[in-house]
Structure 1
């Protein structure tokens, strides 16, 4: 056998003791887990826990495994929203297929789990919008997916929104630039697959009664076209409009979750022509700033919400102490005096419900609701107590690991 693993090597070393010479569906190793919210796959997929980390293992033709390994590595280096690949085991004995190893995406869910466990009040709209944004990012990067569907996508909560991640890249191809025909194939295929998947949910009684699979499938290309137009179109305006029209366009892109790599202003006889080159990677400005100030990891929208709370707390400190408080000092004090104290109130048995940053966002939302009801600010601590005791226990888990049916971890269902 041959193992191909990306850094860090310490993670790869912990996986070497697994029974790689046995067909994946026959694994009964103590490290094997069953993930409750796993999606549907045409390949054998198992989940393992090694040294406190969870990995997804997929048994697949060796040629495809090597190709997907390289492609997922390229997407990760580009900062694209896709699962992170760790490695592959190839040249296995007994003519066994290769096994591709990816890191499990913490707090992520399949589309079926989102619908069946009520993680959002508008699952259809939020999932389709998340998929459209994912497709736009991939297409801007020159990636032709070829197999876009809800089943090949994972979803993760981000401050009340949902972010989509590519999971399966077997058919994907990376080009310098996609043609309109390649993009249209992806979109038409996605609409067809999504319609079928929604019909499947409907037959299982998981789709809301007011959701029409045919209508949603027809809307997906329209939503994509509207987003693509906003991301890529050229605009023509008068020279005296230049300043505010450029600012307006950049603000709209930022509101959509995108940033601009470069913009061109071209003077013509008809006016000034604006071209924008949209950044293909996930935006990370707020995530990076939050990490620098507080050491916390979060999604982009979560980070934005937490940074706003840092600003609010800084204002509170300056008013209470009657002196200016530097941003770094305020962020440090917010981390120790607010965030850490609030998160310490979450019982360990509820730690699988949502990512910590999402829990804090939910508490801030709950604080606003309670304050509106009371007609005064109830405070973060009181809101946290109320949320932890009354709401979080009823929140479906997003990291549920189930025991196997025969008592062994990860026994096939």
Structure 2
């Protein structure tokens, strides 16, 4: 029997209407649910799959649901790394709490699933880098998180590193810009939360014996401060201002950030001329945007960098001066043939950009061993037979081979 409910959504999936909204989430029947790894949450959260799309459904109070929905929608408009808000379902029978529905981020996992075995310190380092970069990106957008933690973050592979996404925004607030005090407060919240999470991991035997929980939390803050300084500090230029400015912009681009303009000031002190410059960083995702523009492919930043490097090498080898023509030929002759070579039963193991990045890395390793370029086609077949077939399905679980850590 269907009961009337009120659904607030920019674009409603009609299948949402048929879910058992008159039943508490914790009592939903298994035939409606998808078994996915789940982080720690103060709310009841369930995953459902409707017409090929997986949604996360969270029970919470109506005002909180409305606020988080609005914040996530605002972050989406800013192209922030966060999950996508889909709908709010309210006016459920028997005074059941409203729910917030978000779209599940494919190929992602909460941190506790990544710690299903003891990670090596190098892998933990990559997670901390991703979390620090996420907080910097959010702060550059003027977003105060208010509850930054590993639990409120999802992680995806990104060409040997990780990309981090905000998954819980109910304590957040969006401003035109954050003051130093607001950033400092957010950092201290992050430090406290991550310290507690690291202690839990240590108690469960999931933290490497060489890793100190307090050091884990301090490292996130240190990495944040290092990246924030690189992106925002005012640089004194003694000579050759143009070259120094170009060098600074290239370094920021390598970090994945675009620069809209550079503010410069010139002062005279006892006849000595002093030039200072401060770049205005406007967006993360420099390589992702270039890749999307020239190929139409959507990828994480490090994946995009690797794909663009391969595209640029192909363009040089093919002697094609026109970037658009080179991109078209690279897609049809290189990228898509690799993706199509994967049998249907293996296609859920890695998303296409990550698959291609790992194939070209595998080709490099084989070529190093052989002392010559083994070629792309043999590398693809070797990767499928020797590597990919042994990986878990990353559409549900972000595959983690301890030997690769």
**Is this a same-fold pair by TM over 0.5?**
yes
1:183 aligns with 2:169: no
SS for the counterpart of 2:236 is strand
SS for the counterpart of 1:100 is strand
1:76/1:82 contact within 8 Å kept: yes
**1:269 deviation in Å?**
1.8
**In the alignment, which of 326, 329, 342 is matched to residue 330 of structure 1?**
326
Q: 1:366 to 1:329 in 2, by over 3 A?
A: same
Partner in structure 1 of residue 346 of structure 2: 350
SS for the counterpart of 1:259 is strand
**1:300 deviation in Å?**
2.3
Deviates more, 1:90-99 or 1:253-262: 253-262
Cα deviation, 1:338-386, whole Å, max 9, x if unaligned, reads 2222222223232232211101100111111110110000011111111
1:362 aligns with 2:363: no
Partner in structure 2 of residue 260 of structure 1: 259
**In the alignment, which of 276, 282, 285 is matched to residue 284 of structure 2?**
282
Listed as ranges, the matches of 1:158-197 within 5 Å are 158-197=158-197
Distance 1:31 1:79 in 2: 31
* TM-score normalized with structure 2 length: 0.90
**1:29 deviation in Å?**
6.4
Cα deviation, 1:226-278, whole Å, max 9, x if unaligned, reads 2111111112223x331122122212222222222322111222511212222
Partner in structure 1 of residue 301 of structure 2: 300
Q: 1:17 to 1:162 in 2, by over 3 A?
A: same
Cα deviation, 1:7-46, whole Å, max 9, x if unaligned, reads 3x4xx222111112221111116342111x2211111111
**1:195 deviation in Å?**
1.7
1:211 aligns with 2:207: no
Distance 1:150 1:138 in 2: 15
Q: 1:327 to 1:141 in 2, by over 3 A?
A: closer
2:294/2:327 contact within 8 Å kept: yes
1:106/1:399 contact within 8 Å kept: yes
**1:120 deviation in Å?**
8.2
Deviates more, 1:365-374 or 1:225-234: 225-234
Larger RCO of the pair (alpha carbons < 8 Å, separation 6+) = 1
Q: 1:315 to 1:220 in 2, by over 3 A?
A: closer
Distance 2:377 2:267 in 1: 59
**1:140 deviation in Å?**
1.5
Q: 1:364 to 1:117 in 2, by over 3 A?
A: farther
Distance 1:140 1:332 in 2: 34
Distance 2:301 2:147 in 1: 27
SS for the counterpart of 1:81 is coil
* TM-score normalized with structure 1 length: 0.89
Q: 1:288 to 1:376 in 2, by over 3 A?
A: same
Partner in structure 2 of residue 150 of structure 1: 150
Cα deviation, 1:283-302, whole Å, max 9, x if unaligned, reads 2x433443344333222221
Partner in structure 1 of residue 126 of structure 2: 126
Unaligned runs of 5+ residues in structure 1 are: 319-323, 402-413
Distance 1:233 1:349 in 2: 50
Unaligned runs of 5+ residues in structure 2 are: 398-405
Aligned residue-pair number: 389
